[in-house]
């Protein structure tokens, strides 16, 4: 993930943060679905689980999504309000983890 985060950051500068956030979100959902397939269907191969890990690693996973979300928030908020927005982003992330 740390090797691909730089790629996704530079790509977001070229094609836009929203598009890269959508791609990253889709890849994260795909990797989680592949993991769930292995857990819920006993006949599924362990290779599907590894494929999910590969997809997650190549997409940069949560590391890339958090970095791009902060960059997007910095682009659209006033400098004096960024600290509050960054706090809300992380609070929403950890609330989702806790509730999930």
- This prediction has a pTM of 0.68
Q: What is the pLDDT of residue 1?
A: 67
Q: What is the pLDDT of residue 83?
A: 92
| Residue 87 to residue 81: CA distance in whole angstroms | 10
The share of the chain scoring above pLDDT 70, in percent, equals: 98
Paired tokens of 27: 């890849």
Residue owning tokens 């609070």? 91
User: pLDDT class for 82, splitting at 50, 70, 90?
Assistant: very high
């Amino acid at each position: 993930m740390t090797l691909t985060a730089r790629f996704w950051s530079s790509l977001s500068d070229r094609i836009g943060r929203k598009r890269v956030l959508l791609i990253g979100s889709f890849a994260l959902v795909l990797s989680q679905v592949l993991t769930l397939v292995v857990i819920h269907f006993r006949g599924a191969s362990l290779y599907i689980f590894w494929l999910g890990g590969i997809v997650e690693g190549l997409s940069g996973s949560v590391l890339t999504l958090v970095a791009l979300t902060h960059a997007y928030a910095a682009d659209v908020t006033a400098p004096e309000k960024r600290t509050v927005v960054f706090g809300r982003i992380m609070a929403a992330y950890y609330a989702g983890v806790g509730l999930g």
